[in-house]
Structure formats: C-alpha cells, structure tokens
Amino acid sequence: MAQRKGKYTIVFDDPPMIKSSAAIGSKKEAQGPLKHIFDVINEDSYFGQATWEKAESRMQQDTVTKALEKGQLSASQVDCVFAGDLLNQCVGSTYGLRDLGMPFVGLYGACSTMAESLMVCSVFLEAGAIQRGVAVTSSHFCTAERQYRFPLEYGGQRTPTAQWTATASGAAVLEKGDCPPFIRACTVGTIEDLGVTDANNMGAAMAPAAAMTIKHFFEDTKTNGDNYDLIITGDLGKVGTRLLRELLLQDGYNIEHAHTDCGLILYDMDKQDVHAGASGCGCSASVMCGHFIPLIKSGKLNNVLFVATGALLSPTVVQQGESIACIAHLIYLSSQKEGGRV
C-alpha cells in the first residue's frame, strides 16, 4: 500500500509503470525543435471539426487512442480514464472521450492537470481499485484564448510576459508491471498565492507554487537537486523559471544544473513568436509523454521529477480584481522500481 512520507508526499509500495504514451500536436508545434516527439502532427488546427472546442476534443480522443494502440490495447481494457483540460466544465475531455466507453474521472488542475491525473491514477492503481488506467489532458491555443482572454478576431496586443498556449495533448497508460518508467512517488501541492494579478504573467504567478511543492518533496524525502537527473517544470516560461530558481535558492536548494521547463523547450524561443514561452495543459503533457517518458524507458534518464504547474483563475475573478491562486503537483519517475531516492 502507499505510504505517507512527511506531510505532503505519497510513496508507492508497488509503483505503477507507464506502459505506453502518446503525444499529438499541430502546426506551430511542428515548427519547433521537438517536432520529432509527436506521434501525430495535424497541420489543420481544426482537426477536421467545425469549431475550436470540437477540435480539442478530437485531439484528446486521438491521443488516447494512439497511446492505447502503442500499448496494443483497446478502450474496453481500460478500467478508468483520468482527464481534464482548460475549458469550462472540462468539455474538451468529456466530449472527446464520451464515445470511448471508458469509466471517467474528470479533473481540473489547470496546467497542472497532467501531473494531477498521473497522481490520481497511480493512487487508484496502488489501492487495487483499478488494474489499468489512462491519464490524459490537452490544450488548444484558440479555445484558451476565447476562454481566458479575447476571441482571436479581437487582435489584442500580447505583453512580453505572455505565453503561447500549446495546441497539443499527451496521454499515458498506467498499470502494474515491471517495465520502466515507474511512478515511485508523488507530492500533492498546496495552493499558493503571492498576490500576482496580471493574467498575462502566468510564470510569475505559478513559480511560488512550483517552488513550494519541490521544497516539500525535498524536505519529505531528505533529498535535493543533486539526487535527480532532471527536474522538469511545466510551464513557467522565461519569467517563472528565473523566479523558481531564485525562490528555491533562498531556501538553500540549487536546482539550476538539473532544471528544465517544458515551456522553454517546446518552441524555438528565438525564431517563434511565443514571447515568454509555451503554456497550456498540452505543453507539459505532450513534452512528458512524447519526449521524457521514452528517455526514462530507454534508460537514458534514471531519476526525474515532473512538476506541472497550474493557475487556478477564471476570467470572472480576475475581472473582480482577485489575485491568481496557483498549484503544482510533483511526480517522481524512475527507471528502477526499487531502491533509489525514496
């Protein structure tokens, strides 16, 4: 059974493995340095659908289907899917997955949803409540713009601290077994709010949540940045990455040598007009599922922390002058099922 370690961290006695994973992107993602990590690139950002929202649903459905296909599985062999997105009532997930007939748990953690879905699925597996599950999330630039800012037709000026929402999705199939990568532990984040009110500066808003969750994990496990090959955040971008490192350094943790951020590597920061970097549920989900999970599976990486970050805002509360509450959840992935850091 799972064990609590410290106040915030859950360590799995029989760590679930990630059997297969998949990532799908669109035109802008194909123009970036990580084009090769995507199983499918659909140049049509409508994904053959009539609306942006239907496009995101189709993208998420296709990503789950591809992940199952790579694991030589069918939807009927999945006990539960854990999914969410950035849209009201998570309609990207609900409408995208409704035809697959899988038991469904809807989650909302904003851009932290991939880590949240992996965490919840792992706990279900450890408890014996399911034998196989799928964790998935997505985002779409056009649906997010309409949801949080302005319709594209408005043509608003983006500020230098703004980030570009990825049109992408990532899915992972989890089950018990002996093939890496394994999810060894997770740390449940706390809601952090340092008073940032600028909805176009998500990196600054989310950095304190990422710093607090990483600090809690280090304290609970008595480890530090030297113990891990990579500490991957998503998606802090330029501004948030700098703040995260500064905040952790104040607490005595230097992670600069091991840290990377999905928001800084999905796009070409010099050639693509993404300002402070990438964002959106689909950014960290696709980069993890398409890039880092295969590296752990092959043994090129051994001990990795994945810390997905989310801003828990809505247009209504921002318009009312509220500050932006944020969350970050941490997943410890390893090429080894036993031993190591926990």
Indicate whether this model's pTM tops 0.85: yes
To the nearest 10 degrees (0 to 180), the angle between helices 237-250 and 202-221 is 40
Distance of CA 209 to the CA centre of its chain: 14
The pLDDT confidence band at residue 12, using thresholds 50, 70 and 90, is: very high
Query: Beta-carbon neighbour count of residue 342 at 10 Å?
Result: 21
Which of 64-73, 91-100, 105-114, 193-202 is least confident? Answer: 193-202
What is the average pLDDT across 183-204?
A: 92
CB 1 within 8 A of CB 123: no
| CATH number for the domain formed by residue range(s) 182-334 | 3.40.47.40
Q: What is the percentage of the chain residues whose pLDDT exceeds 70?
A: 96
pLDDT at 193 over 60: yes
Domain locations in the chain? Answer: 16-175, 182-334
Write out pLDDT tens, residues 54-96: 999 999 999 999 999 999 999 999 999 999 999 999 999 999 9
Which of 55-59, 195-199, 264-268 is least confident? Answer: 195-199
By DSSP bridging, strand 326-334 and strand 168-175 are unpaired
16-175 against 182-334: fold identical: yes
The pLDDT, as a whole number, for residue 169 is 98
* Residues forming beta bridges with residue 6, ordered by sequence position: none
Helices (H), 128-187: 141-148
The pLDDT, as a whole number, for residue 201 is 85
In the block, residue with structure tokens 């779409």: 140
16-175 placed in CATH 3.40.47.40: yes
The pLDDT, as a whole number, for residue 26 is 97
Q: How many CA atoms lie within 13 A of 4 on its CB side?
A: 4
Write out pLDDT tens, residues 145-163: 887 766 665 455 566 677 7
The number of helix segments (H) and strand segments (E) in the chain equals 11, 15
Lookup: tokens for 131: 């034998």
What is the average pLDDT across 157-170?
A: 80
Write out pLDDT tens, residues 227-264: 999 999 989 999 999 999 999 999 999 999 999 999 99
The pLDDT, as a whole number, for residue 307 is 98
φ, ψ at 127 (rounded to 5°):
-75, -10
Question: In 3D, which of 333, 266, 282 has the Cα closest to residue 62?
Answer: 282
Letter string b/e over residues 77-103, b meaning 16 or more CB atoms within 10 A of that residue's CB = ebbbbbbbbbbeebbbbbbbbeebebe
Radius of gyration of the chain, Cα coordinates, nearest whole angstrom: 18
Q: Rounded CA gap, 96 and 77, in Å? A: 18
What is the average pLDDT across 211-233?
A: 97
Q: Rounded CA gap, 236 and 261, in Å? A: 7
- 3-class DSSP assignment, residue 168: strand
pLDDT, greater one: 161 or 183: 183
Lookup: tokens for 23: 């990532």
pLDDT at 283 over 60: yes
Q: Count of residues for the chain?
A: 342
Mean pLDDT (the chain) is 94
CB 217 within 8 A of CB 251: no
